[in-house]
Structure 1
Amino acid sequence: MPVDQHDPFEDRLSAALRQAGGTFDTNRAALAAAGQAHGRRLRLRRLAVAGSAASLVLVGVGGALLMPSDGSASEETSSVATDGTAKRASFSADDVIRTLEKLLPKGKFHSQEGRGTHSDLPPYANVVYDDGKGAAAVSVILERIDLSAVTGDNGFDPARLVMPCPKKEAGAQSAFDSCETEKLPDGSVVTVFQGYEYPDRREETKAWGADLVTPDGQRVGVSEWNAPAEKGQPVSRPEPPLNPAQLKALAAATQWRTIIDTLPEQSRMPTPSTTRTSAAPRAASGRVVERVLATSLPAGLKVVSRGHQETEYAYLVVDDGRGKSLVEVNVQPNMADVADQLYGSGSETLPDGTRVATHQKPGEKGGEGVVMWTVDTLRKDGKRVVISAFNSGSQETAATRPEPALTIAQLREIALSPTWLRVG
């Protein structure tokens, strides 16, 4: 699993945010966000040459996708108007966890983890649920989409942003038994998938889920496993507890939309009576980044392992029959203000304003003979997509092939894919 050195500034900032919990007022939250952005920018030169993604640390607890438990602070509470309609407020981690537990069929719960709406990171809940047939991890993550970046002349189409099913010719297809996308009566679009945690099925851990996007830009991602954790624990039942219809119903529950509506709005399309807000887009879910990367691969590549960080980062190890090759991607919002530092001489600017830089150089983690090919892109809206490929399954081990499994042209095509506009 790719790991680089910790950034001390970010470590201190994370600790401070965890200690402060939900006690920030608006101005302090803005300062914290600015500090976090500054910390990220301190790494820019290293990111620009190292493909960016490698410098981030994969986060996990017991192998499961568990976010930091800072959201459990009880100080953060939700509020509801006296007439029963929700007013702009906040929801604590406990609120999100309780909502998930109430929406699931009757059963027992333990090992709850979550985060509320006070954080710069998306709200989520993760529980171990037992309906009497075996313990299973179930999680939900909630996001608000930046509509200004994805609304076309004909308005916003949720189908453009919902998780796409894998292409039939892509190696990632082997990780799925079924995948269907459906438009619901309210205009929402949902993808329901049934697959495996490990694409090569070396373990029997099944990963099922649903990804739903509403016409208002609300996004709900539900995931479940037939084990108490995403990774690292043996299966406890033949299949995850919820069938596809139940997954779809859980993702479509209106309770999630009420919670999402309390998140700061990313932006609105300007109208005569409204102007764009200054709230910055949220970081993309690492799980979604991983899925987009997997479904963007060219034909002939088999995914042998995969993983993701909580936000922004994901990786795949692929094999075309000639040896393993690590592929990493990082998706960062709000990077326009440092474009000149990232894209100097030798970079290009496309007709739509996208900046592109290409790097081919030796790896930097000590693996003998390892080379790293990188395509670094920056859209006009500030979204940066950096993708790197290596001629080894890990940067720390010796090269397993002469060149990475993806060419520069293929990396460029993935990095410039409009699908990334749907992420975050």
Structure 2
Amino acid sequence: MSEEEEDFTEALRSSLLTISPPDTPSLLRAGVRNGRRRRRRRAVALGVSGAAVLALVGLGATAVPGLLSDGRGTARTTPGTSAPTSPSATPRPTFTGALPAAQALARLTALLPAGLTSSTPPGSGHSGQLWVDDGQGKSLLEVHVSRQTSTTELRQHVFADVKPSPQGTLIQSRQSPEGHQTVNVLNPDGLYITLMTWQSPTQNGPSTRPTPLLPLTQLRTMATSPKWR
């Protein structure tokens, strides 16, 4: 062996002696710990996946939010049911409080049977009064329309013995021996209509007609008309 080769061999031997041998037990313990952590993570992942599958099976067609493949949540729906819909809009009242006399008279005139003439008594523009004539003498009609916020008093006094209709409307009507007629109607929403007729042009005057201008049934039909809304 030449001198150069001996020097190289000696240098290589010295380098090997300076390298510390690996800590084999420590490496082994670290590997075991890493393996256990991986198994635990795998077990947790499998548990979550299994629970999701069981949830889908138990709920049938029910969609579980957040479990779609693209990460989007879904609203729950049950087979045989549809999504909730908003309740149908309730018509708004066209007025509150008392309906002005001019408007009430306009609606009353529109409800009068054909063949009658009407006119407004002098000085009664704000009282809801109307003269109606069928050619056999004038009759005084009076109308009052309001929307009541509380109907307790009306129910206790005006409609005390009245049975409501299937729709919840209360109708009270009466006719005096002198031919004076009154119809009161109270709707479930508080709409209150009163129609009155006399067999004369005035409330306190003697009868100028042999019979009422309108049958009581006709007056009831007018008082229950939806035109008052």
TM interval, short-chain normalised: 0.5 to 0.7
CA contact (8 A) 1:330 1:386 kept: yes
SS in 2 for 1:299: coil
The alignment status of 1:329 with 2:137, answered yes or no, reads no
Question: Which among 360, 374, 388 is matched to residue 175 of structure 2?
Answer: 360
Aligned position for 2:160 = 344
Alpha-carbon shift at residue 380 of structure 1 (Å): 0.9
SS in 2 for 1:293: helix
Partner AA of 2:111 in structure 1: S
Q: Distance in 2 between matches of 1:371 and 1:382?
A: 29
Aligned position for 1:288 = 103
Q: Distance in 1 between matches of 2:106 and 2:200?
A: 21
Listed as ranges, the matches of 1:198-347 within 5 Å are: 281-306=96-121, 307-309=124-126, 313-334=127-148, 335-338=150-153, 339-345=155-161, 347=162
Q: Distance in 1 between matches of 2:174 and 2:101?
A: 24
Alpha-carbon shift at residue 283 of structure 1 (Å): 1.9
Normalised by the size of structure 2, how large is the TM-score? 0.55
Summarize the Cα distance change of 1:325–1:336 in structure 2 as closer, same or farther, 3 Å threshold. Answer: same
Alpha-carbon shift at residue 304 of structure 1 (Å): 3.3
Q: Deviations over 1:159-188 (max 9, x none)?
A: xx8xxxxxxxxxxxxxxxxxxxxxxxxxxx
Aligned position for 1:170 = none
Summarize the Cα distance change of 1:283–1:404 in structure 2 as closer, same or farther, 3 Å threshold. Answer: same
Q: Distance in 2 between matches of 1:308 and 1:410?
A: 24
Paired residue total? 139
CA contact (8 A) 1:336 1:383 kept: no
CA contact (8 A) 1:348 1:357 kept: no
Greater share of residues in helix: 2
Greater share of residues in strand: 1
The alignment status of 1:383 with 2:199, answered yes or no, reads no
CA contact (8 A) 2:97 2:146 kept: no
SS in 1 for 2:97: coil
SS in 2 for 1:349: coil
Alpha-carbon shift at residue 416 of structure 1 (Å): 0.2
Summarize the Cα distance change of 1:282–1:304 in structure 2 as closer, same or farther, 3 Å threshold. Answer: closer
Q: Distance in 2 between matches of 1:153 and 1:418?
A: 19
Alpha-carbon shift at residue 153 of structure 1 (Å): 3.9
Unaligned runs of 5+ in 2: 1-86
Alpha-carbon shift at residue 348 of structure 1 (Å): 3.4
Partner AA of 1:300 in structure 2: G
Summarize the Cα distance change of 1:381–1:293 in structure 2 as closer, same or farther, 3 Å threshold. Answer: same
Unaligned runs of 5+ in 1: 1-151, 162-216, 218-265, 267-280, 363-369
Alpha-carbon shift at residue 327 of structure 1 (Å): 0.8
SS in 2 for 1:289: helix
Alpha-carbon shift at residue 412 of structure 1 (Å): 0.3
Alpha-carbon shift at residue 344 of structure 1 (Å): 2.3
SS in 1 for 2:194: strand
The alignment status of 1:394 with 2:196, answered yes or no, reads no
Q: Deviations over 1:120-151 (max 9, x none)?
A: xxxxxxxxxxxxxxxxxxxxxxxxxxxxxxxx
Q: Distance in 1 between matches of 2:104 and 2:183?
A: 16
Summarize the Cα distance change of 1:343–1:155 in structure 2 as closer, same or farther, 3 Å threshold. Answer: closer
Alpha-carbon shift at residue 418 of structure 1 (Å): 0.7
CA contact (8 A) 1:390 1:403 kept: no
Aligned position for 1:415 = 223
Normalised by the size of structure 1, how large is the TM-score? 0.31
Partner AA of 1:288 in structure 2: Q
Runs of 4+ in 1 over 3 A off after TM superposition: 152-157
Partner AA of 1:358 in structure 2: S
CA contact (8 A) 1:317 1:327 kept: yes
Partner AA of 2:167 in structure 1: D
Larger radius of gyration: 2
Identity in percent: 31
SS in 2 for 1:409: helix
SS in 2 for 1:332: strand
